[in-house]
Structure 1
Amino acid sequence: MTTIVGLLFSLLFSIGAHAQSYPNKPIALVVPQAAGGTNDIVARLIAPAFGDAIGASVVVENRPGAGGNIGTQSVARSAKDGYTLLLTINSAQAINPALYKNPGFDPINDFVPLYYIGATPYVLVSPPGSPYKTLADVIAAAKKKPGELSYASAGNGTISHLLGAMLNTSAGVDMQHIPYKGVAPAINDVLGGQVPLAFASLPSALNYIKAGKLQAIAISSAKRSSAAPEIPTIAETYPDCVGEVWVALFAPIGTSSDAVKKIQAAMDKTLAKPDVREKLIAQGLDLSPVLPAKLGALLKDELAKWVKIVKASGAQLD
């Protein structure tokens, strides 16, 4: 009898331990922006391979609003169990704290930096047939009619907004900013001719450029992109006008070290897969690694950088 009881106890203990092991249910990758943006594209490209690597289904959830604040807040306040992760971009994590009086989250103290995935530039685009084919065309028109030439962005305080402000300062012009609720509607209005120009992340615009539906004028990185080397950089004319969007994975602070290690190991396997890497690179991402231990330092550097740019631009939101 004792032996049977002992066996039953061991079995129950084993089942209980197995039931509590991570992961044993679906994992949510929360994208705090609308569909079609850089991190949404990245999330949907990596989710299947990440799920295979970690041994659980991975669901991409878009929770847009307030420039990324709503989705970011929701993850900060979620259970610290590794089942709700934040796949975000630096415009939300590093710019919003400077742009909003109260973004509703602390980018340093509310999150564990898990994994840096990659970075990509923005591209200044115009519709086919537009007279704005080069950066020189844009600047000449902006100088000829100050305050009349406009550009669309993914929203107030996003990098796509601030790049326009930086270009205004660098070139001594006054282009007018038109904010949208995400990059997709901004691109749609450029395609439709309602707005003459837009700054859009390269992954969100590249397919349109390749299909001839958008003209690429210049990109915002310090060097040309391997995904589209024919597009000149803004920095070739204005060296101080550089800005890129990076994509990284975070978890709520307090997430167990076991879950963190498993997530990081699974991301290592995901980004080591040739087909995943090829798809991300084809979208314009630079996959140069940043170690998880250095992601927190990168975020702090970005916070210091963008607070100066936001202040200079005069942008402020409640």
Structure 2
Amino acid sequence: MDVHTHMFSPRWLEMLAQHGGPHLSYRTNPASGKMCIFKDGAPFMTPTPAMSDDDLRIRRMDEAGVDVAIVSLTCPNVFFGSGEISLAAARDNNDPMAEAQSRYPDRIRWFASLPWQFAELAVAELQRSLSQGASGVVVLGNIAGQPLTDPLFAPVWPAIDDRALPVFIQPTAPPGVAAMGMDQSHLTPPGTVDPMERLAPVVQLGSGPLVIFAQPGLGGPGSDRPGPGGAGLATVIALARARPDELTYGANNTTSAHYLISQLLQRHAGIRMRHIPYAGTAAGRIDLLFGQWSGVDTETAASGARLLAVTTARRFPALPAVPAVAETLPGFDQAVSYGLMAHEQTPPRLVALLAAAADGALRQPDLQERLIGTGSFPAGGGPADFAALIGRQREGLGEVIRALNLRPEG
């Protein structure tokens, strides 16, 4: 059973675009080229086809071995606009979920969305949704920035409790996204506030390699698979040296980590290739693709693209047969790292407590196995370790940014 899976109606996206106000928008994410929901300027959620296609959802469930899915509306749910708008957004999603359950009564259940900011409307919609077969209620970790314990929502909780309903609390962006500068996730224009001046490093959670994919047959006969010691990559590098600016590679836009790491590899190898902005399933039209293993392996499989190398110093446990770039270019080690940050004014004692709790969790074998399965090496450590890593990466990538005279896009 899958209880964390999302569904939405196309009408909901239209309402979000029309009534999201100054904080919410639905537009193209320049880092991926895909339509994305933004909150306070930061990428918030990227819809996928299965979220609005019942038949596709069932096929994906069959592929994953899922018997029953309890669907719910994702962030930002219906917490925008007036009472009339919020209620309409709730009904525009609850009704299709009820219909999906009627089409697949043995496979799909659903949690109702409610206009929590308008308690009387929320209680009425709860009753209506239960009459249509809702199994419970979904709510976000905060409602338009307000905690779930706010007195504004007090009338809704008893209505839920009286019916002994489960409540699914969907994680969401915390209050303070704008103040923390989370919208400045790539390059920032000269003269703007450095986001790191607003944040305090807590702990590195993990790091994942980029995976380099190559078109089948690139490099000539015998190069369809990476050989021992990274021979496949060596063949491609030799080809790129012989044909400068001829081979093409895809790596998002020029403000992304994918692009910067691809530039570091070219500088390390002494080669020049032609960049093709990658924003979808374009692997069939380019020679090489830099992407994250968890995000592009499925897309590239249909085109026959092969795994050439990972960009970390050692091989990735989930891909033991794929060489590391360092096996061909000693010393090359470029991963996409991520971690937990706090506001700069967070008391050091709380930062230390958060770091210790996260570090302890990251040492658990079951969590380590799950992280590796999603394309990440588990990390851990403390605030000083994470701060040192950020400093090293800023120095190395900053050198590339300055050398290429890169500027923010959009």
TM range (shorter): 0.5 to 0.7
> 1:207: Cα distance to partner?
5.1
**Aligned residue in 2 for 1:124:** 212
Q: Any conservation in 1 of the 2:187–2:408 contact (CA below 8 Å)?
A: no
Q: Which residue of 1 aligns with 2:344?
A: 253
Bigger CA drift: 307-316 or 244-253?
307-316
Partner of 2:190: 101
Q: Is structure 2 residue 391 aligned with structure 1 residue 300?
A: yes
* 1:111 match: 199
Name the SS for the 1:76 alignment partner.
Answer: coil
Alignment correspondent of 1:310: 401
The corresponding residue for 2:171 is: 59
* Higher RCO (CA-CA < 8 Å; seq separation 6+): 1
Letter in structure 2 aligned against 1:285: S
Separation of aligned partners in 2, 1:143 and 1:250 = 41
- Between Structure 1 and Structure 2, how many residues are aligned? 240
Identify the residue that residue 259 of structure 2 maps to in structure 1. Answer: 161
Partner of 1:189: 282
CA distance in 2, matches of 1:201, 1:293: 27
Q: Residues 208 and 282 of structure 1: is their aligned pair in 2 closer, same or farther, counting only changes over 3 Å?
A: farther
CA distance in 2, matches of 1:245, 1:266: 23
Give the drift of 1:305. 2.4
The counterpart of 2:310, out of the listed 202, 212, 219, is: 219
Task: From the CA coordinates, give the structure whose radius of gyration is larger.
Answer: 2
- Cα 1:239–1:111 shift into 2, 3 Å: same
Q: Which amino acid in the other structure matches residue 218 of structure 2?
A: P
- 2:178 corresponds in structure 1 to 74
Task: Give the corresponding residue for 1:46.
Answer: none
The amino acid that maps onto 1:255 is T
1:58 to 1:258, Cα distance in 2 relative to 1, 3 A? farther
State the Cα deviation string for residues 21-42 of structure 1 (Å, max 9, x = none).
xxxxxxx9x9758759xxxxxx
- Which position in structure 1 is the counterpart of 2:269? 171
In structure 2, give the amino acid aligned to 1:142: A
Say if 2:203 and 2:385, in contact at 8 Å, map to a contact too: no
Give the C-alpha shift of residue 240 in structure 1. 4.2
- Given that residues 362 and 379 in structure 2 are in contact (C-alpha distance below 8 angstroms), is that contact kept between their aligned partners in structure 1? no
> TM-score normalised to the size of structure 2?
0.49
Counterparts of 1:257 and 1:144 in 2: how far apart (Å)?
Answer: 54
Give 1:126 deviation, angstroms: 2.4
Judging by fraction of residues, say which structure has more helix. Answer: 1
Ranges in structure 1 where 5+ consecutive residues have no aligned partner? 1-27, 37-50, 63-71, 78-85
Q: Calculate the aligned-residue CA RMSD, in Å.
A: 3.8
Mark the CA change 1:236 to 1:274 in structure 2 (over 3 Å): closer, same or farther. closer
- Give deviations 1:77-130, integer Å, cap 9, x for gaps: 6xxxxxxxx6x9xxx76x735xx435x442332012122101121111124x34
The percent identity for this pair of structures is: 26
